[in-house]
Chains A and B, each alone.
Chain A
Amino acid sequence: MTAMTREETQALIQEVLEVYPEKARKDREKHLAVNDQSVEQSKKCITSNRKSLPGVMTIRGCAYAGSKGVVWGPIKDMIHISHGPVGCGQYSRAGRRNYYVGTTGVNAFGTMNFTSDFQEKDIVFGGDKKLAKLITEIEGLFPLHKGISIQSECPIGLIGDDIEAVAKKSSKEMNKPVVPVRCEGFRGVSQSLGHHIANDAIRDWVLGNRDTSAFETTPYDVTIIGDYNIGGDAWATRTILEEMGLRVIAQWSGDGTLAEMENTPKAKLNLLHCYRSMNYISRHMEEKYGIPYMEYNFFGPTKIENSLREIAAFFDDTIKANTEKVIAKYKPMMQAVIDKYKPRLEGKRVMLYVGGLRPRHVIGAYEDLGMEVVGTGYEFGHNDDYDRTIKEMGNATLLYDDVTGLEFEEFVKRVKPDLVGSGIKEKFIFQKMGIPFRQMHSWDYSGPYHSYDGFAIFARDMDMTLNNPCWSQLTPPWKKAA
């Protein structure tokens, strides 16, 4: 199918919206748009970060997911207590594959689940005593932990427990930081507010802890912010930065430690990958400590090259020369990857629907492989994300915010992409429709996809999925002869 014109795309949106009752239609209409590169401000064409409508299938998470699952969870040497009933922690346990180095249960706790397991009596009489006891037990059982964060689940906010008081008291007793995070799931419209709350908690309880202590700095200290080391992403990023001659003093938060976070204010430059989840803390550090931050994109050789040069521009000529060397070193390797996979993937069309940064960041990687992204959308993006997306996407492509199950299916049926990239909840629907699918949250248990090393894996995975012979063998159940 050839590219759709602006009118066709608009007609498609209208057609999909027809099934809704009038009120819902009006509301959903604002969240769907045809991309127009001439629009400077996304809010003129698309509405985002609004409450999902009851009755539609949304793919969003909650504030707890944003705080515990995304921002705090990967900090490996802290223990993150899911404070409340057992389910929230258990069902989100280790689901994001944030890799780390360490001995689980001794000095790293990434894949473990700690919960206060609220019962009826804790709801009635309050859970503060239980929390204090839990923290004492943790200190006894896992003496090598560096700190504790208390991730509130919904009931904590509803019954009004004073977790801050418990945190202060326990922190004094143990002489280790205890951070209360008010990330009850009902706050906000999606996980996005959870990121914000988590960032604010870091700002208030962690960031200034080592302001007065000595730290040996070099002029080349940088931090990686907003890289959660999914499948080893942050490691792939780190090696490139180190090859450039920079010193990475902190990883936020994939494979990160509490000490790294506390030392972040000593960096010269914050490198921000996931803008959506960590721009808050970067802005704060820019104001309080005068550390500039820079958004970069490590998906696909073209974007990596641009980002490396932009990063190098902050530093002196040695770094700039090194950067050119790094680029020259990887160029033939990347060309080999492109030569191998481009002929197999060229001209294929992709639809994406992911979270924080990927709906716009991976476009470059697909384009390097000769593929085209024909539709993209954010689960929980804000207008500033769409501002940045409009320029990346082609004209007359689809933009959908907080897309519903029905809309996404109908769009895919009509646009007929060769590949869909989204999460586990969408995976099997599209696979049963006979459409190749990659999970773009967890890299479908592969990875890393960031940086040069990641691109080779990315290209291989896309080829493996798209050109798999199984797709021609599939007939969706509803197309089978009875």
Chain B
Amino acid sequence: MANIMIQRDSKGGYQFYLPKRDLEDGIDSMEFDTPEKWGGEIKLSGGGTYYIEPQPAPARLPYSVRAKRIDAAE
């Protein structure tokens, strides 16, 4: 489990940030992206995969959340 931060990038997509490792990456896809259900598996542009427990979408970004690492790129 790791603390991650999800934020908006300049193009309006999601961006992933892992403070512990200073890792900044784009998010290619998020499994659930509706106001009621948000999260699930997220795929990073760099190739990694993380899992956020599905939950109602945060009111405001950036948003820090616990995530499980399923597959890291490096």
Question: Footprint of B on A, CB under 8 Å?
Answer: 40-41, 43, 49, 192, 196, 280, 283, 286-287, 290, 382-384, 387
Question: Footprint of A on B, CB under 8 Å?
Answer: 5, 7, 17, 19, 22-24, 45-46, 60, 62-64, 73-74
Question: Which residues from B are CB-within-8-Å of A383?
Answer: 23-24
**What DSSP secondary structure best describes chain A's contact surface?**
helix
Please give the distance in Å from A359's CB to the nearest CB on chain B. 17
Please give the distance in Å from A87's CB to the nearest CB on chain B. 29
Flag if A283 contacts B62 (CB, 8 Å): yes
Flag if B22 contacts A384 (CB, 8 Å): yes
Please give the distance in Å from A383's CB to the nearest CB on chain B. 7
Question: Which residues from A are CB-within-8-Å of B46?
Answer: 41, 43
Flag if A286 contacts B62 (CB, 8 Å): yes
Please give the distance in Å from B27's CB to the nearest CB on chain A. 13
Q: List 16 A-B contacts (CB under 8 A).
A: A43-B46, A43-B73, A43-B74, A49-B22, A192-B22, A196-B19, A196-B22, A280-B19, A283-B62, A287-B5, A287-B63, A382-B24, A383-B23, A383-B24, A384-B22, A387-B24
Please give the distance in Å from A265's CB to the nearest CB on chain B. 15
Question: Which residues from A are CB-within-8-Å of B60?
Answer: 290
Flag if B5 contacts A283 (CB, 8 Å): yes
Question: Which residues from B are CB-within-8-Å of A290?
Answer: 60
Please give the distance in Å from B44's CB to the nearest CB on chain A. 10
Identify the closest chain B residue to A290 (Cβ): B60
In the complex, A49→B74 CA distance in Å?
Answer: 13
Identify the closest chain A residue to B23 (Cβ): A383
Question: Which residues from A are CB-within-8-Å of B17?
Answer: 283
Question: Which residues from B are CB-within-8-Å of A283?
Answer: 5, 7, 17, 19, 62
Flag if A287 contacts B22 (CB, 8 Å): no
Please give the distance in Å from B34's CB to the nearest CB on chain A. 22
Please give the distance in Å from A257's CB to the nearest CB on chain B. 27
Question: Which residues from A are CB-within-8-Å of B23?
Answer: 383
- Given contacts A49-B22, A196-B22, whether A41 and B62 have CB atoms under 8 Å apart is no
In the complex, A320→B54 CA distance in Å?
Answer: 42
Flag if A384 contacts B24 (CB, 8 Å): yes
Question: Which residues from B are CB-within-8-Å of A192?
Answer: 22
Flag if A382 contacts B7 (CB, 8 Å): no
**Beyond the given A43-B73, A286-B62, could you list 6 further A-B residue pairs with CB under 8 A, ordered by the A residue number?**
A41-B46, A43-B74, A49-B22, A280-B19, A382-B24, A383-B24
In the complex, A387→B74 CA distance in Å?
Answer: 17
Please give the distance in Å from A480's CB to the nearest CB on chain B. 47
In the complex, A387→B64 CA distance in Å?
Answer: 23
Please give the distance in Å from B22's CB to the nearest CB on chain A. 5
Please give the distance in Å from A448's CB to the nearest CB on chain B. 29
Question: Which residues from B are CB-within-8-Å of A196?
Answer: 19, 22
Identify the closest chain A residue to B74 (Cβ): A43
In the complex, A196→B73 CA distance in Å?
Answer: 23
Question: Which residues from A are CB-within-8-Å of B45?
Answer: 40-41
Please give the distance in Å from B26's CB to the nearest CB on chain A. 8
In the complex, A287→B7 CA distance in Å?
Answer: 9
Question: Which residues from A are CB-within-8-Å of B24?
Answer: 382-384, 387
Identify the closest chain B residue to A276 (Cβ): B22
Question: Which residues from B are CB-within-8-Å of A280?
Answer: 19
The 5 closest A-B pairs by CB, nearest first: A384-B24, A287-B62, A382-B22, A286-B62, A287-B64
Question: Which residues from B are CB-within-8-Å of A41?
Answer: 45-46
In the complex, A301→B24 CA distance in Å?
Answer: 30
Please give the distance in Å from B5's CB to the nearest CB on chain A. 6
In the complex, A382→B19 CA distance in Å?
Answer: 12
Please give the distance in Å from A192's CB to the nearest CB on chain B. 8
In the complex, A481→B74 CA distance in Å?
Answer: 52
